[in-house]
Amino acid sequence: MTDKHLLLIDDDDEFTQLLSQYLKPQGYTIDIANDGEMGLAKATSNTHYDLILLDVMLPKLDGFEVLKKLRASHLTPVLMLTAKGDDYDKILGLEIGADDYLAKPFNHRELSARIKALVRRMAMLPSNSAQQNLKLGDVELSPSTQQVHCGGQLLELTGTEFAILQLLMINQGKLVSKQDISEKVLGRKLAAFDRSIDMHVSNLRKKLAAHSPEEKIKTLRGAGYQYLSAACLS
């Protein structure tokens, strides 16, 4: 298996050095950018990255701006690094299209686990059924190409949104708890009152609704989500 390619965008030079030193033995190839502009340039270059670690406080272009511009063309998974205690708006980050966030300083094991989850998420999904193309109503999901078509139109989904949709479609008609989604897609336990999953599902819904009038994902308050079965959809 080839090394996974990561991009670190953080202005703390020593931190990025240590981080790359820490991650290399775990089988990652690391690129480093120390400001927002450079980060964005690298992220949108021809190099394919499996994950971008993006700090919020950056010189020249802050993390939110980088993410916004990146999402205009790329769906690369992004893990936002926030600073503890700052009034960082997690909701905003997720709304713009971040896949997850982690507050600095963090335990190295935690970081390692999150990166693993985001990069190798696809492998964690049930493999057999996952490899088959899924077609429910006018939504078509192809794991091999990582593409989703809705009403014949290609949807631009982030990796996390894709993974959530896939999980829900596999379990169509059944309730999938937020806890399950968090563990399978983000690789972490859902903290109390964490709204990350809600934000991702809300983004997903918006994208689906742009091409199809029917409601496809039902919220079961406090419990989780359900992809409505074909019978209900008619």
Partner 1 sequence: MSFLTRLNPARSLFFRVFLWFWLATFLIFMSSTWLVQQLDSGVKYRPLKPNQAKNLHQVARKFQYQIDKHDVDLNKYAFQMSKRNRFWLVLVDAETSKVIFGLKKEQLKTRQLLEQFDEESSALMIETQGKVYIGPSSIVKNQKAYLLYTANNQPGGSLRVIRHEYPGLFLFFLILFSGGLCYLFVRSLLKPVIQLQRASRRMAKGDLAARVGSASNRLDEIGQLGRDFNLMSEKVEILLNGQKRLLADISHELRSPLARLQLSIGIAQQQPLELHSTDSQLALDRIEKEANQIESMIAQVLMLSKLDSQEAVLNKQNISFEQLMLPIINDANFEAKQRGKNIQYNAQVSCDLFVDAQLLTSAIENVIRNAIHYSNDNIQVSVIQYKKTIVWSIKDDGKGMEEQQLSRVFEPFYRSSTARDRNSGGVGLGLAIAYRAVKQHQGDLTARNIDNGGLEVSISIPIDSISQGIIS
Site of interaction with partner 1 (CB under 8 A): 12, 14-15, 18-19, 21-22, 25-26, 83-85, 87, 103-109, 112, 192-193, 222
Choose among 13, 7, 72: nearest CA to 39. 7
3-state secondary structure 3-35: CEEEEEECCCHHHHHHHHHHHHHHCEEEEEECC
The nearest distance, CB 18 to partner 1, in angstroms, is 4
Nearer to partner 1, 85 or 213 (CB): 85
Contact present, 29 and 5 (Cβ < 8 Å): yes
The nearest distance, CB 88 to partner 1, in angstroms, is 11
Nearer to partner 1, 118 or 139 (CB): 118
Residue 86 buriedness (CB in 10 A; 0-12 / 13-18 / 19+): exposed
Contact present, 160 and 99 (Cβ < 8 Å): yes
The nearest distance, CB 191 to partner 1, in angstroms, is 8
Nearer to partner 1, 103 or 124 (CB): 103
Tell me which DSSP letter residue 229 carries: P
The nearest distance, CB 193 to partner 1, in angstroms, is 4
Nearer to partner 1, 21 or 47 (CB): 21
